[in-house]
Amino acid sequence: MYTDKDKEILLNILYQKDFDIKNSVIEFNKLTTHSLERGTVYDWLKKDPVFIQKYAYFKSDLIKEAEAAHRLLRKGIPVQDDEGNIIGWIEKPDRAAIEFFLKTIGSTEGYIDKTINENTNINHNIEVKPPKWDD
């Protein structure tokens, strides 16, 4: 019922819609004479090895695109003088992108996300006396 060309059309729509299957199926049905259902797409993703491979390829391409955008957010877009010194920013580095990077990629280098529970019964008013040194 569906040809390889139909599946290629769907894959391109999926790519354009960031792999939102529901809206991609709606768009596919508008562009073709078919009445594709989401369940059919999910079946292809379970049983059609060619579709699975192409889907994975398209998705990995989209992930690479997102990684490039994330890298740009982390680094920002500097304005440099003739000697390469940063003199300003077109777009400053994004703090949230940097923190996300450190929490995920940097976790192997010792960066961790610590959550402090403020509802503990710990006495924070502890008197610390310096040690006495014997002369």
User: What's the pLDDT band for 98 if we cut at 50, 70, 90?
Assistant: confident
pLDDT at 36: 95
AA identity, residue 45: L
Which pLDDT tens digit goes with each residue over 25-81? Answer: 999 999 998 999 999 999 999 999 999 999 999 899 888 988 999 999 999 999 999
Q: Crossing angle, helix 95-104 and helix 49-75, to 10 degrees?
A: 120
Q: Where are the domains of the chain?
A: 4-67, 76-109
pLDDT at 113 over 70: no
Least Cα distance to 37 among 47, 48, 29, 45 occurs for 29
